Amino acid sequence: MSVIIPDEILYATKMTEAELKQEIAVMLFQKKKPGLGKFAGMNRILFKHLLASRKIPAYEYDIKDYEHDIKTLRELGRL
């Protein structure tokens, strides 16, 4: 699917096409739609840097992950 963004929108937002694509990708990422770095014309690492620069976690680390890590550390004798 192609999306056509009129130049008037870019002018009104004072953004380049690349900046607008990044904004859309970040917004969709925050809505739990992964794999959007490519949409923004960025590889995974650059997209994660963009998220980090906005203080947006690139992944979720919940209590289940924490408990798994604690269990693993205990099994390895590191805790």
The tens-digit pLDDT sequence of the chain (79 residues) is: 777 889 998 999 999 988 998 998 898 888 887 666 777 788 888 888 999 999 998 877 789 989 999 999 999 998 8
Contact 8, 14 (CB under 8 A): no
The number of CA neighbours under 13 Å toward the Cβ of 71 is 6
| pTM of the predicted model as reported, rounded to 2 decimal places | 0.64
The number of CA neighbours under 13 Å toward the Cβ of 57 is 5
